[in-house]
Amino acid sequence: MRSITHFVGFQDDRYTLAVKVFGRPDFIHRQWDGRAKSMVCAGDRVIFATGSELDTPKLWSFDDSGVF
């Protein structure tokens, strides 16, 4: 099974630095919300600009698919 890479919360040049370190992401999430959390499966790699998967997801979800 292939590991999927998710980037969460990147808004500035840290995205470019993260790509250099981890490679291009399969998914980009603006924020850690219920939708982003539901898309992460066992074995996936989640890279946060700030925070971690232990943070409480935002109450309101954002559909990232229409933006990127």
pLDDT tens string, the chain, 68 residues long: the values are 678 999 999 988 899 999 999 999 999 998 999 989 999 999 999 999 999 999 989 888 776 666 65
Sign of CA dihedral 58, 61, 67, 68: positive
Cα–Cα distance measured from residue 10 to residue 13, given in angstroms and rounded to the nearest whole number? 8
pTM of the model: 0.84
Stretch (H or E) spanning 29: strand 27-29
Provide the token pair at 43.
Answer: 């074995």
Q: 34 forms bridges with which residues in the sheet?
A: none
